[in-house]
């Protein structure tokens, strides 16, 4: 069974540009989460989808971040326009209801 | 102060030693998770527990709900156990995880 996959693994963009991160959860997992680790800090929650609906987006830093999960399958996280402080590693995780979360390998975003 | 605190932040050990990593939390939880991340690797879930104790191979996780404290033990440590170990909790009405800062473990042969 394929695990959670994320694309790209690494992205380097300039301040002001747009970047879109993609997450493909484990098939059949209704829950999809986005998290972020900024250098030197603990991993922080961004948002939680249940199927295609946003269950909790309390961790989204500001309106430069837009997450979607069309059809309840894969999800995208768009940052527009990117700022220096958006640099970090973005993790996606998925789970079946009430069960452990399975993490993707992460996307390392560097904004210069 | 973080809602999830881990100690120690860094830990070195000789192969074969018994290792303990501690986690304290200050919020109500539905479950506590122990996660592992090897250098350059992804995050792997080791345990999800809400009470008592769980064991998997050389790893043991315990939780004391009253004291809001959990420990991760590694018996007969091995260099391949070298990784960052992360404690995280999920709240009573949410599945989102609140993470500790992690404990970096290095086991030398």
pLDDT tens-digit series, residues A15-61: 999 999 999 999 999 999 999 999 889 999 999 999 999 999 999 99
User: What is the pLDDT, as a whole number, of residue B40?
Assistant: 83
What is the widest separation between alpha-carbon atoms in chain A?
A: 39
The partner residue sitting opposite A45, judged by closest CB among B35, B45, B97, is B97
Residue A70 has pLDDT above 90, yes or no: no
Could you tell me which of B48, B22, B100, B41 has the C-alpha nearest to residue A101?
B48
CA distance B69 to A95: 25
Would you list which residues of chain A are within 8 Å, Cβ to Cβ, of chain B? 31, 33, 35, 41-45, 48, 56, 59, 91, 93, 95, 98-106
Which of these ranges, A6-15, A33-42, B15-24, has the smallest mean pLDDT? A33-42
CA distance B30 to B41: 28
Cβ-proximal residues to A34 (8 Å cutoff; 6+ apart), any chain:
A23, A45, A46, A47, A48, A67, A75, A77, A90, A91, A92
The verdict on B105 touching A (C-beta cutoff 8 Å) is no
Output DSSP code: residue A109: E
Q: What is the mean pLDDT of chain B?
A: 94
pLDDT tens-digit series, residues B3-14: 999 999 999 999
Q: Which residues of B touch A53 (CB under 8 A)?
A: none
CA distance A4 to A45: 17
Band of pLDDT at residue A1, cut at 50, 70 and 90: low
What percent of chain B shows pLDDT beyond 90?
A: 89
What percent of chain A shows pLDDT beyond 90?
A: 89
CA distance B35 to B105: 13
The partner residue sitting opposite B96, judged by closest CB among A42, A56, A91, is A56
């Amino acid at each position: 069974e394929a695990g959670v996959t994320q694309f790209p693994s690494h992205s380097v963009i300039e301040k002001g540009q747009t970047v879109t991160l993609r997450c493909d959860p484990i098939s059949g997992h209704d829950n999809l989460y986005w998290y972020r680790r900024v250098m030197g800090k603990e991993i922080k929650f961004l948002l939680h989808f249940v199927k295609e609906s946003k269950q909790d987006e309390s961790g989204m830093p500001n309106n430069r971040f837009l997450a979607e999960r069309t059809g309840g399958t894969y999800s995208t996280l768009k940052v527009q326009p990117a700022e220096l402080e958006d640099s970090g590693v973005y993790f996606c995780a998925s789970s079946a209801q009430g069960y452990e979360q399975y993490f993707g390998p992460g996307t390392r975003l560097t904004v210069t | 102060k973080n809602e999830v605190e881990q100690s120690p932040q860094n830990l070195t050990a000789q192969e074969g030693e018994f290792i303990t990593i501690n986690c304290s939390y200050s919020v109500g939880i539905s479950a506590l998770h122990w996660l592992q991340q090897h250098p350059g690797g992804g995050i792997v879930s080791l345990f999800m527990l809400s009470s008592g104790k769980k064991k998997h191979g050389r790893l043991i996780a315990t939780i004391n709900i009253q004291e809001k404290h959990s420990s991760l033990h590694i018996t007969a440590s091995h260099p391949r156990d070298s990784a960052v170990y992360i404690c995280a909790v999920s709240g009573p009405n949410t599945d989102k995880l609140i993470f500790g800062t992690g404990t970096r473990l290095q086991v030398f042969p």
